[in-house]
Amino acid sequence: MLSDPLNKAWFALFALSGASAVVAELAIGGLDRRVVGAVVLLLALMKARVILSRYLGLAEAPSWRRGFNLVLTLFCLLLLGLYLIPALIS
């Protein structure tokens, strides 16, 4: 059952979603919200990479996958910067 790449991707997405939920609960428990936001964004980036690789079939096209990963990572870095700017200003 776990030999199918789509099943592996589904389980990876399930585990990453669970990890996001656990991290969000830690924010309620008192962990710094900036750290929690950064970790949730990182987990979302990992989920997006799984979806692009497995469900859209970019695992068979390494150059396209590298390009998508680069753009997606730069976008997530931009989002992280925009998320952290208010904390740096105040």
CA distances, 44 to each of 2, 49, 64, 75, 89 (Å): 23, 9, 20, 12, 26
Is residue 1's pLDDT more than 70? no
pLDDT for the residue 4:
86
List the chain domain ranges: 5-89
CA–CA gap between residue 32 and residue 81 (Å, rounded): 16
Percentage of the chain modeled with pLDDT above 70: 98
Q: Give the dihedral of Cα atoms 77, 18, 31, 88; nearest 10 deg.
A: 10
pLDDT band, residue 31 (cuts 50/70/90): confident
pLDDT band, residue 49 (cuts 50/70/90): very high
Residue range 4-28: mean pLDDT, rounded: 92
Comparison of pLDDT for 38 and 27, the residue scoring more: 38
